[in-house]
């Protein structure tokens, strides 16, 4: 009996591999996309922070004017050069049509809803960067806790920073 071979399970490993391969590939694609999204979010958040820091440093010599806002947007674009952020103003916290990214700079005031201040003596600069990350995974449909994902499509990543101007 020791040398006897059971032949009833031939091809079982192949069938199991064929059944699990699509699940494994979907997991790898999702893992890859989450990594891309997280990396983009880190870059966008860092660019917003650097833009707010640049605004605070420049604020004594550069008031809240169009040229100053343009230089802040250029700084954000320079920091996030890997993602090629565009220096257009956001509309309703989203990039305008035809754009994949936007940068908005707000100077605080007591009536501002985007960059509010708690006291009348402190002034703040708020920088918001929105970027549409193009999805690569070939999965469509409804995913729990995430929503619907379409291919090819995009997922918006937003970075926001608020710093006090002294």
Domain boundaries, the chain: 12-165
Which pTM was predicted? 0.75
Token reading at 29:
């694609």
CA distance 91 to 158: 13
Taking only the tens place, the pLDDT of each residue in 68-99 is 888 888 899 899 988 888 888 887 777 888 78
Helix (H) or strand (E) holding 95: none
State the pLDDT at residue 92: 78
In tens, the pLDDT along 123-160 reads 788 889 999 888 776 555 666 776 666 656 788 889 99
């Amino acid at each position: 009996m020791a040398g006897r071979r059971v032949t009833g399970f031939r091809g079982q490993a192949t069938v199991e591999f064929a059944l699990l391969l699509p699940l494994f590939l979907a997991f790898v694609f999702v893992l890859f996309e989450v990594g891309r999204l997280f990396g983009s979010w880190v870059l966008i958040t860092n660019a917003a922070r650097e833009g707010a820091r640049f605004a605070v440093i420049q604020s004594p010599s550069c008031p809240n004017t169009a040229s100053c806002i343009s230089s802040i947007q250029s700084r954000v674009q320079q920091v996030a050069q890997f993602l090629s952020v565009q220096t257009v103003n956001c509309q309703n916290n989203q990039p305008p049509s035809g754009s994949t990214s936007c940068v908005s700079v707000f100077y605080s005031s007591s009536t501002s809803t985007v960059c509010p201040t708690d006291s009348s003596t402190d002034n703040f600069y708020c920088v918001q960067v929105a970027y549409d990350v193009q999805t690569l995974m070939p999965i469509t449909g409804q995913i729990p806790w995430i929503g619907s994902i379409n291919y090819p499509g995009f997922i918006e990543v937003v970075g926001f920073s608020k710093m006090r101007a002294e």
